[in-house]
Amino acid sequence: MGETLKLDCSGLVCPMPVAKTKRMLNNMKSGDKLEVSGDFYEAGENIKRFAENHGGKILVFKSEGDNYYLEIEKL
């Protein structure tokens, strides 16, 4: 079982949440999971798109208003 890391991007707008997610994913091993949350909806969508295109599998994507939450598994 891989490690689970958390990243809180509250208060950040693009491109910072995507950049922080990218940095964390680059340092993770295959099978590790990253939980990302924040309060700028567009960033959640951008993180989801980035992860899907760069070696991540979206396990959970939830949004309520501007708040978002993702669980990403590194492939």
Catalytic residue selected from 12, 14, 16, 24: 14
| 3-state SS, residue 8 | strand
* Cα distance between residue 55 and residue 65, in whole Å: 27
Structure tokens belonging to residue 3: 């490690």
Structure tokens belonging to residue 74: 């590194």
9 counts as catalytic: no
Q: Where in the sequence numbering do the catalytic residues fall?
A: 14
